Structure 1
Amino acid sequence: MANRIVLNETSYHGAGAIAEIANEARARSFKKAFVCSDPDLIRFGVTKKVTDVLDEAGLAYEIYSDIKPNPTIENVRTGVAAFKASGADYLIAIGGGSSMDTAKAIGIIIANPEFEDVRSLEGVAPTRNPSIPIIAVPTTAGTAAEVTINYVITDVEKKRKFVCVDTHDIPVVAVIDPDMMESMPKGLTASTGMDALTHAIEGYITKGAWEMTDMFHLKAIELISRHLRGACENTKEGREGMALGQYIAGMGFSNVGLGIVHSMAHALGAVYDTPHGVANAILLPTVMEYNAPCTGDKYKDIAIAMGVQGTENMSQEEYRRAAVDAVKKLSADVGIPADLKAIVKPEDVDFLAQSAMDDACRPGNPKDPTFEDIKALYQSLM
């Protein structure tokens, strides 16, 4: 079987990288940008950092901000209509996963109008045409949506999130500028950072993992473990390390998939609007324990990447425990809750478990779960 790697055509990394947006737009003969960014980023002047670059270059744009933290089908439909009316020929997505996921869905539907119902994009959608070109500018160090072939949309009516997987949706240009992340509050830095760690760990142990993605994921685990605490204190080194670490994690997991941490987190986000990174962080250690028997010696590598000392003298049981404990400690150090007691209602557990079973990430899990397994995992955290 051939292993496939899909990445951006071009990516820029480092402080001040947003200046390259104007150069890329001119080089590609783009005429007008449809800028997708959420209301808070506009309110706090983060979006303006990019629009200032466009203004200085004399490049036309229009801003679309009807974007929710967990973007909905209606957000996408409204965005498609606004794009059609704008006269734009490319998108600039500024924000976290919500802005980028919304932009991806808009770009795909404009190029493939037969999918305008949005729901038909779930799973591996048989689109024919590449998305309208997207320049993606992350403002959080977590989702890596700027380098992935995935996006997630919430179906409010059915109380579920659905994952769309499509090589046609990847942004043509990614601009990873840590200066765009410096205004992130501590809580958001922590939750998105733990999302990135979950990507790296799940990607490393997923059924589809192979040597090249293993390389990405182990380096990402190392960078995130070393820099997340500093990023939460808004240090320059911490911000830069997290910006790079989360992107490298995206290079890996986008190409091999994830597991049931994400399946279960998607269900929590759909029912309770739980921040995705918080849900992942709470679930990750418990699911790691569940998956441990099917991971060979990979938890030893995870423990080493997270800075655990003395693994060469540990038994398999000991280094597996050390890896889980290192994740728990990092999560606690950055202020993530330890359980789901304040989130999950007992009467919802069956619905949550079935939603997780139906999720597109579930088949990649190293251990094949049953409905009862997932139900028990939720209950163990309540």
Structure 2
Amino acid sequence: MDTFKIFRTPQAIFYGRNAFKEIGRQTSLKGKKALIVSDPIIDQLGLVRVCQEKLAENHVESVVYMGVKSEPTDKYVEESLELFRVENCDVVISLGGGSCMDTAKAVAVLATNMGYIGDYMNGEKTAEVPPVPHIAIPTTAGTGSEATDVTVISNTSNDVKMMIKQPAFMPAVAIVDRILTVPSPKHVTAATGVDALSHAIEAYISRKSHHMTDQLALSAMKLIVNNLVSAYQDGENMDAREAMSLGALQAGMAFSNASVCLVHGMSRPIGALFHVPHGYSNAMLLPAVLEFSKESCIERLADLGRIFEPNNPSLSDEAAAEAAVIAVKRLCNVLNIPNLQEWGIQKDNFVRVIGKMAADALNSGSPDNNPKVPSKEEIERLYQVCYEYDFGLVHAN
């Protein structure tokens, strides 16, 4: 039995204040013409223009694909890949949230390996040729996609979110600068922040966790727990923004190497069928899934509970684990996370596809990493629980 572990990261990570200024120089080391994958909101904020200016200062030409307007789809991949080829680009830059980064990852791999992005799902096809260089620049403190070898792309023909994990999808360079997250509205800060927390928690309780991922996951949980509410309440709190950016980055590195679990397995079908942004769908599920999983990961959740309750060191593992579940639930309530019903999903439509969502969740493989591996029937019941879940209702045991 193999005892060693593998840990993958980008070739270089630039993080902290003024890291964005590196984009011109770093791109010039990778290519001569860049495709920038972004979205209309980032463009309106002026960040695309600033990026192009910094590229030009370093003698790098650029073209922009601005079509990412929702969760990433195979159509976005096809359109941006066509632009990459027509314009003879040789490097890809993603500037935005996880949707932009995941789209760019697919472009970088398909530009040299060809085929349809869905061909690479479940390892059916391996990217054997190195991808074109991809420089990932997140504008939210959430997905951690800048430091993962995972891309999630919706198949528009069957409404399935394809979770694809291969080393080739890892960006070459990540640039993480807190200043880019400051314009994020409160609701985006909340959803992406709980998304990052779910990454850290699932990396820590995953059956595939190991010592290196544990240290990053613990650090990420501390940073996020201690700073998310501050960043939510005061978007100009630069210390909180910086801590959240670092926490999301660490959580991304942790889950990329330890895998995610049941929350993500259940979250992707919700996004595919009801177009709920990934951060929200994770947040909607996290407390209920932790309640379901708790008895199989008491010690691990106890570590999280003690992060939430640092002044109560005498808590038993059982009490600390329960405190963790309650604290996550309260956090979602403070951040005004809606449940599925409050999001506007019609109950009849939701119930009608619960079976498909449960099957798709299991097929993704993520639930197999959960401390308590669920059956299809248990996933179906969890979906029903989450539909009307009350984040404000806390029972003291």
- Pick the TM interval, shorter chain: over 0.9
Q: Give the equivalent residue in structure 2 for 1:374.
A: 379
CA distance in 2, matches of 1:25, 1:346: 48
Shift of 1:308: 4.6
Secondary structure of the corresponding residue to residue 151 of structure 1: strand
Supply the RMSD in Å over aligned alpha carbons. Answer: 1.5
| Greater Cα offset, 38-47 or 364-373 | 38-47
Q: Give the equivalent residue in structure 1 for 2:369.
A: 364
Alignment of 1:107-256 (within 5 A): 107-113=108-114, 116-124=115-123, 125-232=125-232, 233-234=234-235, 235-256=237-258
Secondary structure of the corresponding residue to residue 122 of structure 1: helix
Secondary structure of the corresponding residue to residue 123 of structure 1: helix
| Paired AA for residue 381 in structure 1 | C
Q: Give the equivalent residue in structure 1 for 2:281.
A: 279
Given that 2:33 and 2:91 are in contact with CA atoms closer than 8 Å, whether structure 1 keeps it comes out as: yes
Q: Output one character per residue of 1:270-317: Cα deviation in whole Å (capped at 9) or x when no partner.
A: 01001111111111111111111221411111112234532x433343
Given that 2:95 and 2:136 are in contact with CA atoms closer than 8 Å, whether structure 1 keeps it comes out as: yes
CA distance in 1, matches of 2:87, 2:309: 50
| Greater Cα offset, 119-128 or 189-198 | 119-128
Structure 1: where are the runs of 5+ without partners? none
| Paired AA for residue 305 in structure 1 | I
Secondary structure of the corresponding residue to residue 326 of structure 2: helix
Given that 2:24 and 2:51 are in contact with CA atoms closer than 8 Å, whether structure 1 keeps it comes out as: no
Distance change >3 Å, CA 27–CA 76, structure 1 → 2: closer
Secondary structure of the corresponding residue to residue 198 of structure 1: helix
From 241, 257, 260, the equivalent of 1:258 is 260
CA distance in 2, matches of 1:12, 1:346: 45
Q: Give the equivalent residue in structure 2 for 1:79.
A: 80
Secondary structure of the corresponding residue to residue 153 of structure 2: strand
Q: Does 1:25 align with 2:27?
A: yes
Given that 2:200 and 2:221 are in contact with CA atoms closer than 8 Å, whether structure 1 keeps it comes out as: yes
State the identity %: 33
- Give TM-score scaled by structure 1 length: 0.95
Q: Give the equivalent residue in structure 2 for 1:35.
A: 36
Given that 1:349 and 1:375 are in contact with CA atoms closer than 8 Å, whether structure 2 keeps it comes out as: yes
Secondary structure of the corresponding residue to residue 297 of structure 1: helix
Q: Give the equivalent residue in structure 2 for 1:14.
A: 16
Shift of 1:27: 3.2
CA distance in 1, matches of 2:54, 2:17: 14
CA distance in 2, matches of 1:229, 1:323: 16
Shift of 1:262: 0.4
Secondary structure of the corresponding residue to residue 183 of structure 2: coil
Q: Output one character per residue of 1:317-336: Cα deviation in whole Å (capped at 9) or x when no partner.
A: 32221000111121111111
Secondary structure of the corresponding residue to residue 35 of structure 1: strand
- Give TM-score scaled by structure 2 length: 0.92
Q: Give the equivalent residue in structure 1 for 2:98.
A: 97
Alignment of 1:282-321 (within 5 A): 282-310=284-312, 312-321=313-322
CA distance in 1, matches of 2:257, 2:36: 27
CA distance in 1, matches of 2:45, 2:24: 22
Given that 1:308 and 1:326 are in contact with CA atoms closer than 8 Å, whether structure 2 keeps it comes out as: no
| Paired AA for residue 318 in structure 2 | E
Secondary structure of the corresponding residue to residue 68 of structure 1: coil
Secondary structure of the corresponding residue to residue 52 of structure 1: helix
Q: Output one character per residue of 1:230-256: Cα deviation in whole Å (capped at 9) or x when no partner.
A: 222211111111000000111111011
| Paired AA for residue 5 in structure 1 | F
